[in-house]
Amino acid sequence: MRQDQITAALRIVKREIRQWEEPVLGVVARESNRDPFRILISCLLSLRTKDKTTGEASARLYALAHQPATMLTLPLRQIEQAIYPVCFYRTKAKSIHAICHRLLDVYGGAVPDSIDELVTLSGVGRKTANLVVTVAFGKPGICVDIHVHRISNRWGYVKTETPEETEVALRNKLPKQHWITFNDLLVPYGQHLCQPVSPFCSKCKLTEYCDRVGVAKSR
């Protein structure tokens, strides 16, 4: 995919993803009026977990508490029970407590709006930090998960080995107007159509743009 094709390609993706359910982080953001704390915690819960499970776990947890101070009144066991069966639920429950402590001790209970500060929180990597910055605060950031990494390389738009390298490459190449929405567009596209193994190329509207890098089998 050439640089002059990216805007047209993303316009097509935006149109195509309307047929599928909204990703869980979008739902949490909309229903919480873009509350940074709930977006942060749901991002943490979503790691290696399917959207349906994340959404249900988030709802159970926020029915109990949705602010750092009140979250700390919940015993770890209660948080574990609320978020089960998200992947690594015990570790994530501990991270939630640790995050709440740091938010109260260092930031007065508020979620910081910079990537450098967010990655100091327990269990928060650059993917989560970028999501919080873009979704909760509307600030420029590029969240690179497995779908963004895979599709960006499959298109031939970047040539990288890791999500971290992809973020750097996209920051240098992707027009800034697309930074905030890039993850929102590519995640559902990757979940439903441009899948890791045997993508649905016959249904894809991006054939004229996609280099199909690494695609050995498709449907």
Check if the beta carbon of residue 16 is closer than 8 Å to that of residue 216: no
Mind giving me the DSSP string for 18-85?
Answer: GGSPPPHHHHHHHHTTS-HHHHHHHHHHHTTS-HHHHHHHHHHHHHH--SHHHHTTS-HHHHHHHHTT
**127 is an active site residue:** yes
Q: Which of 127, 139, 184, 203 is catalytic?
A: 127
DSSP 2: -
CA dihedral 161, 167, 168, 169 (to 10 degrees): 70
Known catalytic residue: 105? no
Name which of 123, 124, 68 is nearest 90 in CA terms: 123
Active site residue: 35, 51, 145, 184, which one? 145
Active site residues: 127, 145
